């Protein structure tokens, strides 16, 4: 994994290597399914957005870049009195379980006319946090707080297919618009996190049911890619 990360950084920073590259960016809708012990504790899918950006080499079928995204895997909403002294005024209380992630990635992707199959490897990290927000009836945030948070090492592999829908040749490179269909399996180190129903209120006190496990997850992505 160290060699993989070092290769990505070296190729991204060397001026000679970057001279024969084109920028590429993508945005995706994602669905994540916990795996293994993580699935034992969180038995529902999560949904979110994901972004890739980096350089596509023109002479070899290699893309080097970074990925950033987030997934929501639990939401709870309820109405509560504004305070003990003002029980006739109520507010909306929302608790959201989140997983943010960021990776360096290397993708092998030959262009076969309009079809662009690919395989990829990733290494990075994930940030688990549960956040509770109080909102007014006009959906204005009154107060918010992170209830619990932790981080985990993340690495994995993926593959899929991009389908070219549009291309425009230019003097230096070809601009393209593609549809992306792909999946990733991410291995995650142990982390502590909350799930839906983890926050309990007993006799005016807040109690947390904290879960700990490895954080493997299978992610499916659908989106669009641009070659500039």
Kindly list the domain boundaries of the chain, sorted by start residue: 2-6+24-227
Evaluate whether 47 touches 32 at the Cβ level (below 8 Å): yes
* pLDDT range class, residue 83, cuts 50, 70, 90: confident
pTM of the model: 0.86
Tens-place pLDDT, residues 206-224: 899 999 999 999 999 999 9
Using a pLDDT cut of 70, give the percent of the chain over it: 92
Name which of 67, 74, 72 is nearest 50 in CA terms: 67
* CATH of range 2-6+24-227; options 3.30.70, 2.40.160, 3.90.1150, 2.60.40: 2.40.160
Average pLDDT over residues 83-87: 75
The DSSP H or E segment spanning 17 is: helix 15-18
From 14-28, 48-62, 153-167, the region with the lowest mean pLDDT? 14-28
Alpha-carbon separation of residue 29 from 4, 46, 106, 133, 181 (angstroms): 26, 11, 20, 24, 10
Q: What is the overall mean pLDDT for the chain?
A: 90
The DSSP H or E segment spanning 4 is: helix 2-13
The total of other beta-carbon atoms located within 10 Å of residue 75's CB is 11
3-state secondary structure (DSSP) of residue 12: helix
Q: Inform me whether the pLDDT recorded for 12 exceeds 60.
A: no
Q: What is the pLDDT of residue 219?
A: 98
Tens-place pLDDT, residues 98-110: 999 999 999 999 9
Q: Inform me whether the pLDDT recorded for 8 exceeds 60.
A: no
């Amino acid at each position: 994994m160290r060699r993989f990360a070092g290769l990505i950084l070296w190729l991204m920073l060397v001026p000679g290597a970057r001279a024969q590259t084109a920028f590429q960016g993508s945005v995706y809708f994602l669905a994540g399914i916990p795996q293994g012990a993580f699935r034992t504790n969180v038995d529902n899918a999560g949904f979110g957005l994901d972004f890739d950006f980096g350089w596509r080499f023109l002479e070899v079928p290699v893309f080097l870049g970074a990925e950033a995204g987030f997934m929501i895997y639990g939401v709870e909403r309820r109405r509560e009195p504004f305070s003990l002294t003002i029980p006739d005024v109520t507010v909306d209380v929302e608790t959201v379980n989140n997983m943010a992630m960021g990776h360096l990635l290397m993708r092998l992707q030959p262009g076969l006319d309009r079809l662009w199959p690919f395989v990829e490897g990733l290494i990075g990290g994930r940030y688990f946090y549960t956040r509770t927000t109080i909102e007014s009836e006009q959906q204005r945030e009154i107060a918010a707080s992170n209830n619990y948070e932790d981080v985990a090492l993340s690495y994995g592999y993926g593959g899929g297919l991009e389908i070219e829908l549009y291309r425009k040749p230019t003097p230096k490179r070809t601009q393209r618009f593609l549809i992306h269909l792909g999946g990733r399996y991410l291995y995650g180190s142990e982390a502590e996190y909350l799930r839906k129903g983890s926050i309990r209120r007993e006799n005016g006190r807040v109690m947390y049911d904290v879960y700990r496990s490895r954080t493997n997850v299978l992610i499916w992505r659908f989106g669009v890619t641009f070659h500039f």
